[in-house]
Amino acid sequence: MLLHIPEVLTPEELAHCRTVLHAADWRDGKVTAGQQSAKAKHNLQLPLDHPQHRELADLVLRALGRNPLFNSAVVPRRVVPPLFNRYDAGMSFGAHVDNAVRPIPGTGGMRIRTDVSSTLFLSDPEEYDGGELCIYDESGVREIKLPAGDMIVYDTTVLHSVAPVTRGSRWASFFWTQSMIREDSQRRLLFELDRAIIDLRTRLPDDDPAVLKLVNCYHNLMRQWCEM
């Protein structure tokens, strides 16, 4: 899965995030990296104990909750509270794989399996040079640089990196999700089916037999594949 979700944040939410982050006391980003990826990580991060970290994380979580595209594609079970990072000129994050299991801060030891990764861009592309999120998959390298407020969602299993920033500053929120659908091929199938149902409902009434059959198929597959 590699999905671009536009306008996750409203203009007002985006402006508030940027105002808070502009005044923030950023720290070394290695604090949340694994032993291996810490060697490749050169960026800054909003500390978890920052007074407004919880506020911004909750703002992003609310935005995810109301976003039908995210919920359809990811089928989230648990989401690690969003983190916030910053790459100034000369900073980068070399190729790495995210940890398969991560703790959820403030839960007394609860952990999640990381199925899906998300990067929510908080800086517009013209504000910095470089800083592309690079996804390495069977088709090669995909370089991603989205408008502020837009988000990219991808399978956590893939190798990825952040290219060196050569001008300006790149801000983003990033987080991991454990899906109710563990297998990525099953998630893709359900997502395609859900999109087809939504498209069909624009042309047929909800009680049309074709619509009802597809909806029934979708929910029966969910019953087979969901982990609760």
Using DSSP, state whether 118 is helix, strand or coil.
Answer: strand
Tell me the C-alpha to C-alpha distance, in Å, between residue 207 and each of 60, 190, 221.
35, 21, 20
Q: Is 170 annotated as a binding residue?
A: yes
Tell me the C-alpha to C-alpha distance, in Å, between residue 12 and each of 17, 183, 227.
9, 36, 36
Which residue type occupies 76? P
Which residue type occupies 189? L
Q: Is 219 annotated as a binding residue?
A: no
> Quick one: which of 87, 98, 99 has its CA closest to 42?
87
Q: Is 96 annotated as a binding residue?
A: yes
Binding positions for 2-oxoglutarate: 170
Binding positions for Fe cation: 96, 98, 160
Binding positions: 96, 98, 160, 170
